[in-house]
Amino acid sequence: MLFYKFFAAFGLSFCLLTSGSWAAPDLTIERITSSPALSGSAPRMVKFSPDGARVTFLRPSAADYKILDLWEYNLTDRTEKLLVAAARITGGVEKLSQEERARRERMRITSKGIVSYSWSKDGRKLLFPLGGDLYQYDIQDGKAKRLTQSEAYETDSRFSPMGHYVSYILDHNLHIVDVRTGESRQMTRSTSPTIKNGSAEFIAMEELDRDTGYWWSENEEYIAFVQYDEAPVDIGQRYEIGRDDFKVLEERYPRAGTRNVTVKLGIMTVKTGQVKWVDLGLNEDIYLARVKWVPDNSGIFFQILSRDQKKLDVFFADAETAKTRPILTETSKYWVNLHHNLKFLKKGREFLWASERSGFNHLYHYKSDGTLIGQVTAGKWVVAKIQQVDEESGDVYFSANMDTPLEQHLYRVNLLKAKTETPVRLSQGGGWHYFVFPKEGTDYIDYYSDPVTPPQVSIRNKSGDLLSWIDQNKLIKGHPYFPYRKAHITPEFGHFKGPGGDELYYRMYKPAHMVKGRKYPVIFALYGGPGVQLVKRSWDKPFHQILAQSGYIVFTLDNRGSKNRGTAFEGALYRQFGKVEVADQVAGAKFLKGVDFVDPNRIGVQGHSYGGYMTLMSLFKAPEIFKVGVSSSPVTEWRLYDTAYTERYLGQPDKNKSGYDKSSVFPYVKGLSGKLLLVHGMADDNVIFNNSTMLLDELQKNAVPFDFMAYPGQTHRLGSDKMRKRHFLHLIKRYFDENL
């Protein structure tokens, strides 16, 4: 998926005010790229321990917000404690293998230190990777013990469900370690350099939201795993230009319209290592999207997505025989959006499933053979995730945007009363919530923020009542953002009817102390692509605030194609990019022209990845509106991008030549009459540098003036370290200051 999370990392607003004789300090780019993090100490990756005695989480180090440490919150005495400081083990230096770097790029992991961990079933030990090796932390003795020590880099490590083994991937093969004896076993072996076992292939991680390639059964008797062969994928060349070196890398990259890997699914008996292969059908040109064990260990549910992504089939495969039977099929005239909303009930005799068949994502209740029992939720709103099911009461807890597209809340509905009962909202506050439930139970972790409240983490009961704060993260003296709180600009939210007849939602930051009669320049901070929602009532990060305090209006609009508005709204961009998205952004500019404090002749635009593409298309196709733009890491030619993402929306190039041609930026480059700054990382393995070199040449051969900045050694995560992030943000602001 295009790297929209990068945009989110740089998208917000905070400002400067004075109060009486005391002058608040300026919020600067230097400060927002320094430690500690301005958003405070809010935990990440929060989990209940299996015994329910504590909650563990990752937290940025006070010395370096890029490094994550492992912490616990004790639920008995309500105290928190640092368990493992990553820098004490690594010395602050962490070298990643090429494979791990690529894996983290796919998983959008921008931090260092302890970036993942898992619990043993008995709640006594924590497993985490660090610096290329695996460590085990013992809750009782408070010590971290190194489990592996080698030049190789173990990835995708975890405890097995019952805690008897530690499993990991090494050199694309599955290994397990017996916790009691320390004995290590290599469970798979590749017969060819192109065959990989237990790993998630590039497309699975980048576009299918599947970041693993193996799954334990709950009783630890079986492991289901993926074996894929990269041989069919074309070998292409990609260059990485660093500070003082130049590499030409040969790699297998599945560009739109070319072949993907071939995939096999095996079920291995752990004791013997014997593998039975699941019949995935005669058509090899498929995506293996999901695999999940049935709670009674009888087999797995697996999901096959067609190459055109209009059909998703769910099958059951027996653990002992690997024989399969169909469960259900989903189809769409646009594309089927994958999800993780499969929840087994009654030890697998029933299950809950999410579907967009009504035009909006809702929950359905099935028997294990695929017989529909009934629809659980309905309406012109979207279910995000099944959070928990209390089987005794029949209550289903789920997150959704039933109240407004701008907020996400927790709701409850009863399976027995679903036809007559309106879901009950449980979460409080008018903002955005994420939830973490234990494996069993209805007390949950609530991760909340809104435009004036930095992330807060609490434990609440099934009625939404507060039980305990894990981190209230209050904006009081001592909080990193406290000196800037009085100057904080609260964004305005609104909506208007767009050219397609839909309500389009926007967020707008206005400069503090606006002068009546003065007209202000506007910067459109956008993404615009599918699968993303930017306009929501949540806490943001500070760059947009710096722009606002400098006198800019910062405007973000979720155009058609954006997430969480239903299939018709999202499907509006099907078969052609850069058409309805630009039309909606233009409508946003026309809406602003009706506001008396907006200067209609000074409208700029800025975005990264798909947002970079949208910046180019806005400048090229609507030059009368958008005068200045900063486009970073843009796709310029969609035939260069990968199969699953591009074909999901545009189809295959040979079947939609016109759509691909019209979606490229090149037919429109002569339309540029304003100022363009093009930015790209010279080691980008997602939106490869060729996207920008092609545009450089096209602009030059047409004598179209523009500006350009390249970042040696930087991947798609421009600004992956503090100083380069600082340079990049100064670059953006300076360009708008000089030209807008």
pLDDT band at 246 (very low <50, low <70, confident <90, very high): confident
For position 131, what pLDDT does the model report? 85
Q: Predicted confidence band at 82 (pLDDT cuts at 50, 70, 90)? A: very high
Contact 10, 29 (CB under 8 A): no
pLDDT at 13: 34
Average pLDDT of the chain, as a whole number: 93
DSSP annotation string for 318-355: ETTT--EEEEEEEE-SS-PPP---EEEEGGGTEEEEEE
Nearest CA among 104, 293, 131 for reference residue 685 = 104
Specify the pairing of strand 628-632 against strand 598-608: parallel
- Amino acid 323 reads K
Q: Name the burial class of residue 151, with classes exposed (0-12), middle (13-18) and buried (19+) by CB atoms within 10 angstroms of its CB.
A: exposed
Q: How confident is the model at residue 579 (pLDDT cuts 50, 70, 90)?
A: very high
CB 249 within 8 A of CB 238: yes
Q: What's the rounded Cα separation, in Å, for the pair 111 and 114?
A: 8
Which of the four pLDDT bands, split at 50, 70 and 90, describes residue 385?
very high
In whole angstroms, give the CA distance from residue 562 to residue 583. 14
State the maximum Cα–Cα separation within the chain, in Å, rounded to a whole number. Answer: 80
pLDDT band for position 92 (50/70/90)?
low
Q: What is the CA radius of gyration of the chain?
A: 26
Question: Residue 96 CB: number of other CB atoms within 10 A?
Answer: 14
Percentage, residues of the chain above pLDDT 90: 84
Name which of 1-15, 98-112, 433-447 the model is least confident about: 1-15
Taking Cα atoms as reference points, which of 522, 517, 553, 498 lies closest to residue 627? Answer: 522
Asked if residue 309 has pLDDT above 70, the reply is yes
pTM of this prediction exceeds 0.85: yes
User: Residue ranges per domain, the chain?
Assistant: 41-159, 185-338, 366-472, 490-739
- Determine the residue type at 572: A
**Do 185-338 and 490-739 come out as alike in CATH topology?**
no
d(CA 601, CA 627): 8
**pLDDT at res. 238:** 84
pLDDT of 22 reads 46
- The answer to whether the CB of 88 falls within 8 A of the CB of 72 is no
**Cross-strand partners of 342:** 353
Query: Mean pLDDT lowest for which of 238-242, 284-288, 375-379, 699-703?
Result: 238-242
CA atoms of 371 and 261, how far apart (whole Å)? 33
Cβ within 8 Å of residue 398, ≥6 positions away = 363, 377, 383, 384, 385, 386, 387, 410, 411, 412, 413, 423
Average pLDDT (698-720) is 94
pLDDT value at 11 more than 70: no
Say yes or no to pLDDT of 221 above 70: yes
SS3 content of the chain, % helix, strand, coil (to 5): 20, 35, 45
Structure-token pair, residue 235: 């070998």
Residues composing the chain: 740
CB atoms within 10 A of CB 551: 15
| Helix 610-621, helix 580-593: angle, nearest 10 | 70
Is it the case that residue 19 has pLDDT exceeding 50? no
DSSP string, 496-565: EE-TTSSEEEEEEE--TTPPTT--EEEEEE----TT----SSS---THHHHHHHTT-EEEEE--TT-SSS
pLDDT in tens, 98-126: 677 677 777 766 788 999 999 999 999 99
Domain 490-739 in this protein, CATH class: alpha beta
Residues labelled catalytic = 609, 684, 716
- Residue 23 confidence (pLDDT): 60
CB 327, CB 315: distance < 8 Å: yes
Is the pLDDT assigned to residue 85 strictly greater than 90?
yes
d(CA 499, CA 494): 16
Q: Going by C-beta distance under 8 Å and a sequence separation of 6 or more, which residues neighbour residue 370?
A: 314, 326, 327, 328
Containing 458, the helix (H) or strand (E) segment is strand 453-460
Average pLDDT over residues 25-42: 91
The phi and psi torsions of 255 (rounded to 5 degrees) equal -70, 155
The backbone torsions φ and ψ at residue 17, rounded to the nearest 5 degrees and listed phi first, read -140, 165
Measuring CA to CA, which residue among 150, 160, 214, 216 is closest to residue 188?
214
pLDDT, average across residues 215-240: 95
Specify the pairing of strand 112-113 against strand 118-119: unpaired
Tokens of 337: 């959006």
Residue 353 reports pLDDT greater than 80: yes
Helical (H) or strand (E) element with 246: strand 246-252
Q: What's the topology of domain 185-338?
A: Methanol Dehydrogenase; Chain A (2.140.10)
pLDDT at 355 over 50: yes
Q: Which residues pair with 127 in a beta bridge?
A: 118, 136
Q: Is the pLDDT of residue 358 over 60?
A: yes
- What was the pLDDT predicted at 6? 39
DSSP conformational letter for 245? -
Name residue 553's amino acid: I
pLDDT for 475-501, tens place per residue?
999 999 999 999 999 999 999 999 999
Q: What amino acid is encoded at 732 in this protein?
A: I
